[in-house]
Chain A
């Protein structure tokens, strides 16, 4: 083994996180079997982040005061033996064939077409969808009327499912959308709204679970979604095994308009640049249950949702000609990857530290539900959509070939296409952020490279956020094998991201999607005249607060008139933690950090702050000013149609209780 290989092993070990610092008395250590009566430690390995590596270093387990840190470690795995699962594309169904409730004796579910209603407020009442109507016809079937077009219908079943994270593991029990972690991939087009039936077929809440709660409210992250379908934290609903009067069959229909923000004022927002400047790309869905988001997301409740339009088409060789469709070997060139970090006990079941309010970290690194898998790629251009579902893990991704890093092209921030592709050597991703990248494997293969690794270079030692140190080379999480033949000229229909418009600076690549407010100086000047709201994200009273208060679902912290524009100042006075702050409903533009205006020009190898975001990666001791709009929806006078939230997306912080409710009035 060469020295850098040793170093990698060392780094992988160092990254194993201590998740509990519980002080154990000597008596307890004996009782728990950690210490023999004679005072010798029984289990050296698995108790300390260093134990497995520095074997024999007993002193590393015991603090000067004689206490011990317990550090559970997941069972070992062999890396690179299983293929990374590709996400299954979700297909629409006929609404008349949609089902709900629990299965009958023969395993059949009862037919239950959408009736235009959806449960809210912990499934204590049903309300009508704002923009999706159902009219019952004399023959008992429904006619549907959708404000945003011809609805596509989907049914997503939430089930408890055993899933093998690795061939060496026994199955791990997850809560899973359609029995998959991550859940299936929705590929939706702007102009085609979706009505998604969420069936809660999880075990009854009366069945004890080590953690998590079998009630769900699914948020479509970054969606411009009516409140009743937004996965508001209070809109969790019951399992079909826990029928209640308001929701006897345990399901919830959510309506996703797939509509551009600003649609209601086309003259104002759909001018020279066109409405498509507002289009979103890489969204995702995940549970958002009040007090239980972290537990439920960690338990597996997350999945993928991508939006397409006439620029980002999803059809090879059209629009911007981004990589998509089958490679020469048939795998999809548009490849979402969810990187997550479970911690598992000796029977391969998920461990969640219920008493750690800082954030929880795992010690196994999974890509699309497989621990340290490999991915075979053809020697052509791929688009990777990189997701970070958390609960508390930050990442910095680079491509490493064993000797050096390979540059690639970043094309989005938070899944929203940039005005131009930017060449980078790494991308930093806070919890819930997304970055789309294009990797040109043809070029890399030409240099003789046959294998690369996605390496995580962000050092993180606790759940409060990364240390800020970038590791080299980092922890390898995904092995990429470049296999097969070279492409023939003209065989790849995708555009070369390195071909920039004339006059572009070095490192800037192909033109992508224009920004809604392209003139950044004008936006800064305009924003200077807008009303300002300040939100301070801080530690206090043993929990996490916003403006000195914990979340109360009935307290409206901001009543914002529909259509208004505001500057939001997001502050982190803390020096030892970070907050990835997420604002529902509309994305934002960052104006400044700590008073320094964001530059409109492309920045190389740094944070790309000038484009559209929905997560503010708030650093330590930092103040960020945002430009926000609140368009199109709300303003009904009914709380269940008007309410949205902003919260820390280190979801352990959100649950304890770093969140505010704001309403559009």
Chain B
């Protein structure tokens, strides 16, 4: 055997044996962007406005998305207060190219009116949508945004889904996650990590 032959594979038939070639399966896509993934399910804001989730809420924005519910008395109020400070630090950009989004995990209870009272109580500024909708639609959004746990018991506990904020640069398809109780300064840094062109 010479050196050149050493580096050549066995003949195709022999090379395949003894393992059978895998059965063919059709490639599928994972369209984790745009309306295909995030959907245009109708959602209502704290102002009673009905929006399409992807086109009206997400599209083209730098986003902070979290889940909450008004009846939650442990983590939600602290997280919301923390995010209010983040909103103050981000300033005027919230409502322009940046948008904050909080989606209710108890959509039946959290009507626009209930959420409006909640936002007034916490001093939420403009450019921050609190969203409610049909339970199935909200569940779909929760799954699509990855606020899920593989344990059914843990997944069924809404308090397990409010500790984190998804941070996204939607047009750049850049996603990260931060704890909702991270210091406001650190959260703002995390936002700027998905929009580095603006540093």
Residues of A bordering B, CB below 8 Å: 1, 5-6, 8-9, 12-13, 19-23, 25, 28, 32, 43, 45-47, 51-53, 55, 70-83, 122, 124, 204-206, 208-211, 213, 215, 238, 242, 244, 290-292, 329-331, 344-346, 351, 353-358, 374, 376, 378, 402, 451, 453, 462, 464, 476, 479, 481, 483-485, 539-543, 549-550, 552-554, 576, 655-657
Residues of A within 8 A of B30 (CB): 19-20, 70, 72, 345, 351, 353
Query: How many angstroms between the C-alpha atoms of A433 and B28 in the bound complex?
Result: 32
Chain B, interface SS category:
loop
Verify if B188 is at the interface (C-beta below 8 Å from A): no
Query: B172 touching A80 by the CB < 8 A rule?
Result: no
Query: B177 touching A357 by the CB < 8 A rule?
Result: yes
CB pairs A–B below 8 angstroms (17 shown): A8-B20, A13-B23, A45-B26, A46-B27, A81-B12, A83-B9, A209-B173, A213-B193, A291-B176, A291-B177, A329-B1, A331-B6, A346-B28, A354-B32, A541-B160, A543-B163, A552-B186
Chain A, interface SS category:
loop
Residues of B within 8 A of A208 (CB): 171-173
Residues of B within 8 A of A462 (CB): 150
Q: How far is the CB of A365 from chain B (nearest CB, A)?
A: 11
Query: B18 touching A81 by the CB < 8 A rule?
Result: no
CB within 8 Å for A540 and B199 given contacts A23-B143, A74-B27 = no
Which chain B residues (1-55) contact chain A, with CB distance < 8 Å? 1, 3, 6-10, 12, 15-16, 18-30, 32-33, 36, 39
Q: How far is the CB of B62 from chain A (nearest CB, A)?
A: 13
Residues of A within 8 A of B18 (CB): 5, 402, 451
Q: How many residues of B contact A (CB 8 A)?
A: 68
Residues of A within 8 A of B140 (CB): 23, 25, 28
Query: B21 touching A78 by the CB < 8 A rule?
Result: yes
Q: Which of B18, B148, B180 has the most CB of A within 10 A?
A: B18
Query: B146 touching A541 by the CB < 8 A rule?
Result: no
Verify if B183 is at the interface (C-beta below 8 Å from A): yes
Q: How far is the CB of A73 from chain B (nearest CB, A)?
A: 5
Contact pick for A657, options B12, B171, B179, CB 8 Å: B179
Verify if B136 is at the interface (C-beta below 8 Å from A): yes
Verify if B164 is at the interface (C-beta below 8 Å from A): yes
Known: A43-B26, A80-B9, A205-B172. 7 other contacts (CB 8 A): A1-B20, A28-B140, A46-B28, A204-B197, A209-B174, A354-B175, A542-B162
Residues of B within 8 A of A21 (CB): 143, 148, 150
Query: B150 touching A576 by the CB < 8 A rule?
Result: yes
Query: How many angstroms between the C-alpha atoms of A451 and B28 in the bound complex?
Result: 34
Select from chain A the residue with minimum beta-carbon distance to B67: A542
Residues of A within 8 A of B6 (CB): 329-331, 376, 378, 483-484
Query: B199 touching A244 by the CB < 8 A rule?
Result: yes
Query: B151 touching A576 by the CB < 8 A rule?
Result: yes
CB within 8 Å for A52 and B1 given contacts A70-B30, A481-B10 = no
Query: How many angstroms between the C-alpha atoms of A351 and B173 in the bound complex?
Result: 13
Question: Which 6 pairs show the lowest CB-CB distances between chains A and B?
Answer: A541-B163, A355-B146, A52-B25, A550-B179, A346-B27, A329-B6
Residues of A within 8 A of B81 (CB): none
Contact pick for B32, options A9, A213, A353, A357, CB 8 Å: A353
Q: How far is the CB of B40 from chain A (nearest CB, A)?
A: 10
Verify if B113 is at the interface (C-beta below 8 Å from A): no
Q: How far is the CB of B170 from chain A (nearest CB, A)?
A: 10
Verify if B144 is at the interface (C-beta below 8 Å from A): yes
Select from chain A the residue with minimum beta-carbon distance to B39: A28
Verify if B56 is at the interface (C-beta below 8 Å from A): no
Query: B36 touching A32 by the CB < 8 A rule?
Result: yes
Which chain B residues (141-199) contact chain A, with CB distance < 8 Å? 143-151, 154, 160-164, 171-183, 185-186, 189-190, 193-194, 196-197, 199
Contact pick for B23, options A53, A205, A354, A481, CB 8 Å: A53
Residues of B within 8 A of A540 (CB): 163
Query: How many angstroms between the C-alpha atoms of A378 and B25 in the bound complex?
Result: 36
Q: How far is the CB of A214 from chain B (nearest CB, A)?
A: 9
Q: Which of A74, A213, A354 has the most CB of B within 10 A?
A: A354
Verify if B75 is at the interface (C-beta below 8 Å from A): yes
Residues of B within 8 A of A479 (CB): 15, 19
Select from chain A the residue with minimum beta-carbon distance to B1: A484
CB within 8 Å for A543 and B16 given contacts A28-B39, A80-B9, A353-B32 = no
Select from chain A the residue with minimum beta-carbon distance to B172: A208
Q: How far is the CB of B191 from chain A (nearest CB, A)?
A: 11
CB within 8 Å for A657 and B1 given contacts A46-B27, A72-B30, A206-B197 = no
Query: How many angstroms between the C-alpha atoms of A351 and B29 in the bound complex?
Result: 8
Residues of B within 8 A of A73 (CB): 25-28
Which chain B residues (49-104) contact chain A, with CB distance < 8 Å? 75
Query: A346 touching B29 by the CB < 8 A rule?
Result: yes
Select from chain B the residue with minimum beta-carbon distance to A52: B25
Residues of B within 8 A of A655 (CB): 176-177
Residues of B within 8 A of A19 (CB): 30
